[in-house]
Amino acid sequence: MDGFDAGAAGAMDYDIAGAAIRRFRARDGLMLQALDWPGDPARMPMLCLPGISRTALDYVALAARQQGARRVVALDYAGHGFSGRPEELSRYGVMPALRDVMDTLAALHLDRIVLLGTSFGGILGMVMGVLRPMALGAVVLNDIGPRMTPRGLGVVQDMIGRDPALATEEEAVAFCQARMAPMRLDEAGWRRMAARTFARGADGRLHPRWDTRIVQLFGKESSAVSDLWGPFGAIGHARLLLVHGAESDLLSDETISAMQAARPDMDVVTVPGVGHSPTLDEPEAVSGVQAFLRGLP
């Protein structure tokens, strides 16, 4: 295990802006946690799934922008954030993660949803179209598609396997600036990013908010999802929005063009000056996602 201990961290050390903390057990008994912001029960709730090295905290600002108009739930996967950390490495695979998503739907009474998936979360959303299509009323894919570039996967792999065990917030900010894709963040924005990326462990140092052992499974899992055109077709019944970073090294222009050819009705929002993946707090992403949501029940 790496140095971060969710239990040792105690209460949330990040402002979650009025969310309820939902803790429930997956089918194998592992404790999972989600953040749950209330909204109009007559509208489809939104389930937000983060990237492989991210947590529910990435969606705090997005949820605040809903201002209660739509319920927003953001999940911490197994081994991420304040969810439990399993002993078995295989627990971090795509299918176990997808089963956790299904358990989340059941535990939190989410029937038909707007699924917003960033990177790995979007992969889960597409595969969910095969296994539970009628649960998906609409899908937002954040910088992910049916095919990923080898170079982009290598960058992700390098990031998720590192535990720098940093001493100060300044070191955490510097690490994020050096290792993460291009982002349009000011000084305060980088500090927020660092706070969402690291938490202080029992040893007093700042560690990633995810289990870095995930990298040991990454190559095998990447091969398993190298071609997702079938699952992409399986979400053909759902309204679809693609948000992508113009400088993304994971989602190529060629793949985006192929997606548009397959789904001419797909809305597309391009975020200039940003790589993989947009924070969804950029003005272009904010306006595009809000417009998309306004058109949904």
Contacts of 72 (CB under 8 A, 6+ apart): 36, 37, 39, 45, 46, 48, 59, 62, 63, 66
Q: What is the pLDDT of residues 39-96, one digit of tens each?
A: 999 999 999 999 999 999 999 999 999 989 999 999 999 999 999 999 999 999 999 9
CA–CA dist 283, 286 (Å, integer): 5
Q: Residue 257: which CATH number?
A: 3.40.50.1820
Establish if 29 belongs to a structural domain. yes
**Predicted pLDDT of residue 13:** 57
What integer best gives the mean pLDDT of the chain? 93
Establish if 30 belongs to a structural domain. yes
Find the length of the chain. Answer: 297
Establish if 1 belongs to a structural domain. no
DSSP 3-state percent helix, strand, coil across the chain (nearest 5)? 40, 20, 40
Q: What is the pLDDT of residues 5-40, one digit of tens each?
A: 443 333 335 678 889 999 999 999 999 999 999 999
- Tell me: pLDDT of 108 over 80: yes
- Tell me: pLDDT of 205 over 70: yes
- Tell me: pLDDT of 2 over 50: no
CA–CA dist 256, 76 (Å, integer): 28
- In terms of residue numbers, what domain contains 253? 6-294
Output the six-digit token pair for 63: 């949820």
**248 falls in which pLDDT band (50, 70, 90)?**
very high
- Tell me: pLDDT of 257 over 80: yes
* Domains in the chain, number: 1
Establish if 232 belongs to a structural domain. yes
